[in-house]
Amino acid sequence: MNSDLQSYYNNFNKPWSKLYYLMVREKLSFVKDMKVLDFGSGFGVLADILAKDNDVTSIEPNTDMVKMAKHKNKYIQLSGSIEKLLDFNDETFDVVVCHNVLVLVKRNCNNLT
């Protein structure tokens, strides 16, 4: 793992990060007893939060991030990119979360339609 990734990971234990995810959790409090896809799950922070009350599948292209993903709660962690979405039938999930992801997409995303 490179130093930038380690630094990014270390930020998740900072007070502002914890506060931020408490706010995100509050905004998503309506997501209960649902099938959730967390696409671009990073270190799994949001997937882990949502897995407390939901059936969560997460997809992350960065294998180092997948190895370091948080798993306090049970969820399915997959490694892959946007093409991995083609493995799922339409309407497999009730909710799809792409938290802090779309700004990182570099190529055409026709698969999102």
Q: Across-strand partners of 59?
A: 39, 78
Q: Which tokens go with 28?
A: 């998503």
What is the topology classification, in CATH, of domain 3-83+92-102? Rossmann fold (3.40.50)
Number of Cβ within a 10 Å radius of residue 68: 16
Residue by residue, DSSP assigns 44-85 as SHHHHHHTTTSEEEEEES-HHHHHT---SS--EEEE--GGGG
The domains of the chain are located at 3-83+92-102
Global pTM reads 0.83
Tens digits of residue pLDDT in 3-62: 888 888 888 778 888 899 889 999 999 999 999 999 999 999 999 999 999 999 999 999
**What pLDDT, on the 0 to 100 scale, is given for residue 4?**
84
